[in-house]
Amino acid sequence: MNFSSKLLEDAVNEFGKLPGIGQKTALRLVLYLLNKEQSEVAQFGNTLIKLKSEIKNCVVCHNISDFDTCSICTAVKREKEVICVVEDTRDVMAIENTNQYFGVYHVLGGLISPMDGIGPSDLHVETLVERVKNGDVKEIILALSANMEGDTTLFYLHKKLKDFNIPITTIARGIAFGGELEYADEVTLGRSIVTRVPYENTLIK
């Protein structure tokens, strides 16, 4: 692209580095910002700078946090004996949005993926083992994605944690709400039959 301004070009290039944003979209965003007040744009810029410089990872669960220990780990109402192991912050937010879980989390920071060169040592597995060893843990829920990497990680974590004799559970796989049987894939449908549950258990109490 032919830019009449170096400042414009720099800003477009910065936006263009973001995933899923090409040159044209970047230009549209920058021109949008140019029409905004100076103070608004400055706030945008400063928020980003502040974000990266001040944000921390919780020392207990590795979730993104403003403080050394995150708000979930410090909340008195949460059951500290139940740990839900997830891939990243997005999964924590997704589970929190359900309002169905009241334990704490452990954020792995990824999944085991030999293809991408990510092994167990790149994830927060050791600290999880420490938490289980030292804490009064009653249940470990492995809430990982139902794909190859998720299953590999599931298998590895189970091997690491099974000797503690603590119940290890995984979130249920099955037909999603609103999903129709005839369009479900065979693996999901098959698994949902094998792991069928008593009807009474599905009723909200």
Amino acid, single-letter form, for residue 75: A
Query: Taking CB under 8 A as the rule, does residue 76 contact a second copy?
Result: no
* Residue in this structure with the two tokens 């009449």, named with its chain if needed: 4
What string of DSSP letters covers 7-60? HHHHHHHHHHTSTT--HHHHHHHHHHHHTS-HHHHHHHHHHHHHHHHH-EE-TT
Eight-class DSSP state of 58: -
User: By C-beta, is 90 or 173 nearer to a second copy?
Assistant: 90
> Burial letters for 89-104: b for 16+ Cβ neighbours within 10 Å, e otherwise?
bebbeebeeeeebebb
Amino acid letter, residue 40 = E
Q: Is the Cβ of residue 92 or residue 161 nearer to a second copy in the bound state?
A: 92
Helix (H) or strand (E) holding 64: strand 64-65
Task: Give yes or no for residue 2 binding a second copy (CB under 8 A).
Answer: yes
Decide: is 25 part of the binding site for a second copy (CB under 8 A): yes
Q: Name the minimum Å distance from CB 178 to a second copy.
A: 19
Based on the shown chain and the rule CB under 8 A, indicate whether residue 46 belongs to the binding site for a second copy.
yes
Q: Work out whether 117 is an interface residue with a second copy (CB under 8 A).
A: no
Told to check if 97 binds a second copy by CB under 8 A, we report yes
The answer for residues whose C-beta is within 8 angstroms of residue 152's C-beta and 6 or more apart is 111, 112, 113, 114
**193 touches 172 (CB < 8 A):** no
Among 16, 22, 49, 108, binds a second copy (CB under 8 A): 49
CB of 1 to a second copy, least distance (A): 6
Which of 78, 88, 168, 189 lies at the binding interface for a second copy (CB under 8 A)?
88
Phi, psi of 86 (to 5 degrees): -130, 170
State in angstroms the smallest separation of the CB of 154 from a second copy.
Answer: 23
CB closer to a second copy, 96 vs 116? 96
Does position 144 interact with a second copy (CB under 8 A)? The reply is no
Nearer to a second copy, 88 or 151 (CB): 88
Would you tell me which residues interact with a second copy (CB under 8 A)?
Answer: 1-8, 10-11, 14, 17-21, 25, 27-34, 36, 38, 41-55, 63-66, 70-72, 88-90, 92-93, 96-97
